[in-house]
Structure 1
Amino acid sequence: MKKYKNVVLFLLIVLVFSLTIRINTLPVLVDGRSMEPTLYDHDFFLSNRNSIKSLKRFDIVVAYSHQLNENTVKRVIGMPFDKMEYRDNKLYINGQYIKEPFLQDSMTNDFTITLKKNQYFLMGDNRLHSTDSRELGPFSLQDISSRDGVIVFPLSHFKNIQ
């Protein structure tokens, strides 16, 4: 009888642990090249569901696109009430130049947008191959389901993403 108690206790611990992980993390499989070189096609990562209350500029987020009818992985570029401008491939927020150190040789066409309350402008790191807020428009906080995470597969890409 004691043997069964140990098995039941072990299974209960595994169940609680699994549920805790499932509730707090969002498993994400990257589909496409829009976040290269930060994330690559078919990278699998676990993203933190509990951290969206503290969004910051340049966080990597998972957001639901109503136009695409799917989740998408992008980087937060614009925050509520920002006046964003891309001019000569450079980002200006409220008139101040903001360096984007994660970009390599990425081209961003000129545009200007002023975000409203609860609006976030999301873009991919690989601007030439990214369908993002430039086409989809701003995302609301309710559309954003998780932030940052850990790449767990392939093992050669294992790293913390922030």
Structure 2
Amino acid sequence: MEENIQGKQKNELVEWIKAIVFALLVAFVIKQFLFTPVLVKGASMMPTLEDHDRVIINKIGPKFKAIDRFDVVVIKMNEETNYIKRIIGLPGDKIEYKDDQLYINGEKFSEPYLEQFKKELKDTGSLTYDFTLDQNLGETTVPEGQYFVLGDNRRVSNDSRNPEVGFIPKERIMGTTSIICWPVKHIDFSFN
């Protein structure tokens, strides 16, 4: 009888170990290939994202569907640094900013996610300074297989306007994000 109880306890322990290993394996696969949390560092995406917000990256989506204009993406800049920015220009687009207004291929585009920030400006200046791709990057259009990105906080964002960042190759885009999961007061499931 005692041997039977010990055998059952041993079998139960083995089953628990299997379940824990399986759960860890599933969590690893999900984090590595599907979804992963990322910490927002800095103010370049304010007011959409604030410093120390945590967002969830959808890594699988961009592999099966096109990255759309105005998607918020996480970009692998180097081994230690990721940027979170908004897609403004798609391959082949001509981008221009004039009088705080975005023009893509000569067409005026609204950016509703910036309206709150524009209203809160303390001075009479513009949120986004005037520029063309040619002035900043020496190209008239966004090259094939690359994207032009901007941070929502245009006055402080280090983004594609800076030649050191420039156009972003698709391979460096880790995924899209539209979910803020932390802190609790910022939780949002579709901030785009």
TM-score, length basis structure 2: 0.78
State the partner residue of 1:8. 17
* Rounded Cα–Cα distance in structure 2 between residues aligned with 1:126 and 1:46: 20
Larger radius of gyration: 2
State the partner residue of 1:32. 42
State the partner residue of 1:134. 161
Return 5+ residue gaps in structure 1 as ranges. none
* Rounded Cα–Cα distance in structure 1 between residues aligned with 2:38 and 2:186: 14
Counterpart secondary structure, 2:95: strand
- Given residue 99 of structure 1, which amino acid in structure 2 is its aligned partner? S
Deviation at 1:152, TM superposition (A): 1.6
State the partner residue of 2:151. 124
The share of aligned pairs that are identical, in percent, is 39
Deviation at 1:10, TM superposition (A): 2.0
- Given residue 112 of structure 1, which amino acid in structure 2 is its aligned partner? T
Listed one character per residue, the Cα deviations across residues 99-152 of structure 1 (whole Å, up to 9, x for unaligned) are 111003161111112211012011111111211111121111011111114222
Contact map agreement 2:55 2:177 (CA 8 A) in 1: no
Query: What is the total number of aligned residue pairs between the two structures?
Result: 161
State the partner residue of 2:96. 85
Contact map agreement 2:46 2:152 (CA 8 A) in 1: yes
* Rounded Cα–Cα distance in structure 2 between residues aligned with 1:101 and 1:43: 21
Cα RMSD for the two superposed structures: 1.8
TM-score, length basis structure 1: 0.91
- Given residue 6 of structure 1, which amino acid in structure 2 is its aligned partner? E
Deviates more, 1:72-81 or 1:18-27: 18-27
Counterpart secondary structure, 1:128: coil
Deviation at 1:69, TM superposition (A): 6.2
Contact map agreement 1:26 1:146 (CA 8 A) in 2: no
Contact map agreement 2:127 2:154 (CA 8 A) in 1: yes
State the partner residue of 1:50. 60
